[in-house]
Structure 1
């Protein structure tokens, strides 16, 4: 016998469970991101085959900064981590994502803007990532 209320229950409940599991995974990844960020003065979340990520890593390396690079595509939970990073950024951009001194700086465009206007070097000095 067809029971409309029972059908609605089964259609709604899996979606709710899915979103709750997704939210829990994102919270776990957010904590993991914060742990990784606290381990180094400069942390770059990157994708190993991304040309923009390569350019970001080259920028910091060329400045003499020893950044900790976390390749998201090589992480078993990389997709969840990338979702959490996009949530931090407001879903407006993609990797690379840079943290300096434990604080979110942003993606490529924001880091380059800091570099062009001359505020990247002082930021790196304050974080202890650069000695000039």
Structure 2
């Protein structure tokens, strides 16, 4: 859990993902399209990815990926991210975190 929290606090946006997950791909594409350069942690490519995935589940991520941290805060689930985007709340949140400047 320490590694998850350390990664989440280092960068404005961190996405915990799996390379084969279509929802993870959609979330990463959304952030790239918005001009964000998130830190990506592919759990299936990390040596201790399984432990990190379990830590994300303990933090309330179900399913465990994609798990998105914005400004060090967990914004859990694809539905939440998409709802924030559609309501116009995601971009201001990203600006406040320093992920985008426009």
Same fold (TM over 0.5): yes
1:122 aligned residue = 92
Map of 1:12-27 to 2, 5 A cutoff? none
The one of 64, 68, 71 aligned to 1:98:
68
The one of 59, 69, 80 aligned to 2:40:
69
**Matches of 1:128 and 1:92 in 2, distance apart?**
27
1:82 aligned residue = 53
1:38 aligned residue = 9
> Normalized against structure 2, the TM-score is what?
0.95
> Normalized against structure 1, the TM-score is what?
0.74
Q: Deviations over 1:43-64 (max 9, x none)?
A: 0000011111111100000000
The RMSD of aligned alpha carbons is: 1.0
The one of 112, 115, 119 aligned to 2:82:
112
Structure 2 unaligned blocks of 5 or more: none
Aligned residues: 102
Structure 1 unaligned blocks of 5 or more: 1-29
| Structure with the larger RCO, 1 or 2 (CA within 8 Å, 6+ apart) | 2
> CA offset at residue 131 of structure 1?
1.1
**Matches of 1:92 and 1:69 in 2, distance apart?**
18
